[in-house]
């Protein structure tokens, strides 16, 4: 159960979970299929930036509702665009996705129904994906005579490997939830009625952790994947050393010495 956090856009709301107030929910709500038109893209970006900057938010769930996650970009909006128009439009779509991927906190996508095209690309921006047993994911853009344009060719290949990504992209086919689980496209498959609760529970399990260390871990992993090992190790070293300037490091190590592991309480500072 969630309570609305007022002041957000019409198609994308920021909500707070009633039981876990440190968990924010980016709720997609554009009937029937959460097609990602230009307005919704802007709202996704604004919502992502908002929860990223809110110190009271420690983890985030992206959720499209009980019936569908997001069926893709709005094809009717794009169909007659020329090169100049679609170049600008694609930039806006990528910026929305990049904003979600850049949220400096654990992010879980709660996937019901379809996560196709831009919807799949949005799910790829999360750190983890929980899918319903009847969910279907894919990049069907090839069937429209184009390719994924919001990160699908890049994030999908990094997640499941180039061969599996090419199969999904070249064919445009939908992967059922169990296949998605077997190739690492999703991290858990549960009954449709359990998707939201499982995602919230996952987010809550991270929300009590040291916020600055979690941010550093995410940035080190994501940044390291984009470069060579030596550079990645340097990124890691710098983040590791920087955390020794935080209160959480002092609290965590002091608690370990005095009380043993797993008892520290973190302030996020």
Residues 97 and 68 in one domain: yes
Q: How many CB atoms lie within 10 A of CB 249?
A: 18
Cα 106 to Cα 118: distance, rounded to the nearest angstrom: 21
The overall average pLDDT reported for the chain is: 93
Same domain, residue pair 221 and 197: no
Do 216 and 200 lie in one domain? The reply is no
- pLDDT of the residue at 7: 46
Residue 238: give its domain's CATH number: 1.10.12.10
Q: Is the same domain home to 225 and 176?
A: no
Indicate whether 267 belongs to any domain.
Answer: no
Q: How far apart (Å, rounded) are the C-alpha atoms in residues 246 and 239?
A: 11
Tokens 């019409």 belong to which residue?
Answer: 10
The DSSP code for 30 is: -
In a domain, 268, yes or no: no
- 8 Å CB contact between 25 and 2: yes
- Residues 170, 217, single domain; the answer is no
Q: Which residues contact 161 (CB under 8 A, 6 or more apart)?
A: none
Based on the fold, state whether residues 77 and 113 are members of the same structural domain.
yes
Tell me the C-alpha distance between 150 and 179, whole Å. Answer: 23
My answer on whether 219 and 159 are in the same domain is no
- Specify whether the CB–CB gap between 132 and 191 falls below 8 A: yes
**Can you read off the two tokens belonging to residue 20?**
């876990």
Residue 241's SS3 state is helix
Establish if 269 belongs to a structural domain: no
Q: Which of 188, 207, 226 is the last residue of a domain?
A: 207
> Coil, strand, or helix at residue 5?
strand
Cα–Cα distance for residue pair 132/111, rounded to 1 Å: 6
Q: What is the pLDDT of residue 5?
A: 54
- Our count of domains for the chain comes to 2
Active site residues: 121, 141
Tens digits of residue pLDDT in 154-207: 999 999 999 999 999 999 999 999 999 999 999 999 999 999 999 999 999 999
What's the pLDDT at 263? Answer: 82
Asked if residue 87 belongs to a domain, the reply is: yes
Q: Following CA atoms 244, 225, 116, 2 in sequence, which dihedral angle do they give, to the nearest 10 degrees?
A: -10
Per-residue model confidence as pLDDT tens digits over 87-99: 888 888 999 999 9
pLDDT tens-place values along the chain, 269 residues long: 455 554 455 899 999 988 999 999 999 999 999 989 999 999 999 999 999 999 999 999 999 999 999 988 888 888 888 898 888 888 889 999 999 999 999 999 999 999 999 999 999 999 999 999 999 999 999 999 999 999 999 999 999 999 999 999 999 999 999 999 999 999 999 999 999 999 999 999 999 999 999 999 999 999 999 999 999 999 999 999 999 999 999 999 999 999 888 888 888 88
CB atoms within 10 A of CB 166: 13
Alpha helices in the chain (DSSP H): 38-53, 75-78, 83-101, 118-124, 152-160, 162-171, 177-182, 195-207, 211-224, 229-242, 247-259
In a domain, 264, yes or no: no
CATH label of the domain that carries residue 94: 3.90.226.10
Is 243 within the bounds of a domain?
A: yes
Do 248 and 192 lie in a common domain? Answer: no
The strands making up 136-138's β-sheet, listed across from edge to edge, are 114-116, 136-138, 174-176
Whether residues 133 and 239 share a domain: the answer is: no
Q: How far is CA 196 from CA 66, 75, 132, 146, 199, in A?
A: 8, 28, 9, 32, 5
Last residue of a domain, one of 207, 231, 247: 207
106 plus 202 within the same structural domain: yes
Of 167, 184, 207, the position where a domain reaches its end is 207
Residues 26 and 48 in one domain: yes
**Three-state DSSP class for residue 264:** coil
Query: Are 33 and 114 within 8 A, CB to CB?
Result: yes
Strand partners, 115: 70, 137
Residue ranges making up the domain that contains 231 = 211-259
129 with 189, same domain?
A: yes
For residue 17, being part of any structural domain is answered with yes
Residue 82's SS3 state is: coil
Give domain status of residue 174, yes or no.
Answer: yes
């Amino acid at each position: 159960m969630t309570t609305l956090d007022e002041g957000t856009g019409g198609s994308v709301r920021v909500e707070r979970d009633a039981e876990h107030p440190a968990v924010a929910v980016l709720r997609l709500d554009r009937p029937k299929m959460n097609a990602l038109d230009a307005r919704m893209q802007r709202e996704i970006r604004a919502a992502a930036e908002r929860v990223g900057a809110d110190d009271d938010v420690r983890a985030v769930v992206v959720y499209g509702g009980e019936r569908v996650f997001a069926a893709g970009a709005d094809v009717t909006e794009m169909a007659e665009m020329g090169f100049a128009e679609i170049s600008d439009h694609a930039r806006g779509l990528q910026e929305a996705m990049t904003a979600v991927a850049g949220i400096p906190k654990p992010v879980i996508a709660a996937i019901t129904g379809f996560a196709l095209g831009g919807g799949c690309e949005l799910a790829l921006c999360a750190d983890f994906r929980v899918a319903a047993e009847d969910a279907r994911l894919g990049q069907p853009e090839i069937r429209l005579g184009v390719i994924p344009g919001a990160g699908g060719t890049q994030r999908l290949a990094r997640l499941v490997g180039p061969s599996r990504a090419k199969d999904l992209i070249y064919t445009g086919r939908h992967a059922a939830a169990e296949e998605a689980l077997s190739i690492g496209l999703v991290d858990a498959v549960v009954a449709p009625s359990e998707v939201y609760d499982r995602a919230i529970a996952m987010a809550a399990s991270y929300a009590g952790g040291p916020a600055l260390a979690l941010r550093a871990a995410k940035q080190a992993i994501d940044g390291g994947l984009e470069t060579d090992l030596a550079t990645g190790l340097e990124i890691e070293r710098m983040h590791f050393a920087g955390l020794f300037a935080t209160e959480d490091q002092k609290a965590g190590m002091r608690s370990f010495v005095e009380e043993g592991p797993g008892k520290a309480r973190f302030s996020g500072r």
